Amino acid sequence: MKATIHITLKNGVLDPQGKAIENALGSLGFGGVDDVRQGKLIEVSLDESDADKARATLTDMCEKLLANTVIENYDIHLSEA
Amino acid sequence: MQAAVIVFPGSNCDRDVAVCLEAATGQAPIMAWHGDANLPKCDLIVLPGGFSYGDYLRCGSMAANSPIMREVVEQAHKGASVLGICNGFQVLTECGLLPGVLMQNKGLNFVCRNTQLNVTNNKTAFTSLYGAGEEITIPVAHNEGNYFADDDTLKQLQDEDRIALTYAKGDNPNGACLDIAGISDASGRIVGMMPHPERRAEATLGGDDGKRMFSGIVEVLS
């Protein structure tokens, strides 16, 4: 299976890069941008065909390494290879 | 007493720290490589500054999962004193020995300059030779030094007197919560700090305010 993991900053955690991007969009003339948040996308290919098992393994990976849960949320999307 | 400096690929302050430890203890510390699965029993372990594993994923996250860190965590739990400087502080938060996280500087720039610090708690194992509230000068050099923790954790750090060092009023270089420059665990034996005491440990470096960090811990352990 293939997994796409989105890692984003939790609400309330300051995101200076997102703020800088928001300002840059404004200076390029893009109006109406209320907020920009920047995160990470990690793709993992797994040798596992059972979706539940894959999700359990990926959750463990996120908790132990891929995300820092003090400041980050993670969201796992699974798809067939 | 036995001291060790942990060397990760990308560490760049390891030798400076070793010079300070040798000056304080009279003997050269063990230089332990990240891939070593064994570390002789140590009284003092220092995690130096640098860019371990190229800061991949998050600063300190790869180093926190290296073989040598299992030994460091185990010895820390058994009573060894541990100092994490800059990237070493990031490693200590990533491996769970200290709470919180070091985020990117609020100003988005790498900051390399002297900072004025207040010794907020001079009862940790590393700050005992400073006066309570003493103002000292120690340089910072980092891109991710913005200390962040949730409100409950910050309150706990305050209540338990675990904020060891703060940036002097108006001199916070990175946006850290409560102006935090360094914290300790509940016992005061494990300290993480963003400023580099080894870079200001003798007069030829412009000052020696950092020296007492090393001589202090040696005095405590002797």
Going residue by residue through chain A, which has 81 residues, state the pLDDT in tens, using 9 for 90 and above. 999 999 999 998 989 899 999 999 999 999 999 999 999 999 999 999 999 999 999 999 999 999 999 999 999 999 986
Which chain B residue lies closest to A16 (C-alpha atoms)?
Answer: B106
The band of B116, judged by pLDDT with boundaries at 50, 70 and 90, is very high
Q: Does residue B105 belong to the interface with chain A, where contact is any CB pair within 8 Å?
A: yes
CATH architecture under which domain A2-79 falls: 2-Layer Sandwich (3.30)
User: What residues form DSSP beta bridges with B114?
Assistant: B139
Q: Has B86 been annotated as catalytic?
A: yes
Residue pLDDT, tens place only, B55-98: 999 999 999 999 999 999 999 999 999 999 999 999 999 999 99
- Is the Cβ–Cβ distance between B200 and B137 less than 8 Å? yes
Q: How far apart are CA B219 and CA B129, in angstroms?
A: 9
Structure tokens at B17: 């720290």
Q: Does residue B107 belong to the interface with chain A, where contact is any CB pair within 8 Å?
A: yes
Cβ B106–A14 below 8 Å, yes or no?
Answer: yes
Q: Has B198 been annotated as catalytic?
A: yes
Total Cβ atoms within 10 A of residue A12: 8
User: What residues form DSSP beta bridges with B181?
Assistant: none
- Which residue type does B105 have? N
Nearest-CB residue to B58 (from A14, A16, A68): A68
Q: Which domains does chain B have, with CATH numbers?
A: 3-221 (3.40.50.880)
- Whether pLDDT at B3 is above 80: yes
Give the pLDDT score at A12: 87
- Whether pLDDT at B51 is above 90: yes
Which chain B residue lies closest to A10 (C-alpha atoms)?
Answer: B150
| Pairing outcome for strands B190-193 and B81-85 | parallel
For the residues of B88-147, what is the DSSP string, one character each? HHHHHHHTTSS-SEEEPPTTSS-EEEEEEEEES-TTSTTSTTSPTT-EEEEEEEES--EE
Q: Has B196 been annotated as catalytic?
A: yes
Of B112, B42, B134, B119, give the one whose Cα is nearest residue B81: B42
- Whether pLDDT at B132 is above 70: yes
User: What residues form DSSP beta bridges with A45?
Assistant: A2
Length of chain A as a residue count: 81
Query: Which of B86, B94, B95, B142 is flagged as catalytic?
Result: B86
Of B175, A15, B110, B23, give the one whose Cα is nearest residue A23: A15
Long-range contacts formed by A53-57: CB under 8 A, 24+ apart: A54/A1, A54/A3, A54/A78
The average confidence (pLDDT) of chain B is 97
Give the pLDDT score at A81: 67
- Is the Cβ–Cβ distance between B137 and B171 less than 8 Å? no
pTM: 0.95
Nearest-CB residue to A17 (from B99, B108, B175): B108
Size of interface A-B (CB pairs under 8 A): 35
- Is the Cβ–Cβ distance between A48 and A1 less than 8 Å? yes
Give the pLDDT score at B49: 98
- Is the Cβ–Cβ distance between B111 and B140 less than 8 Å? yes
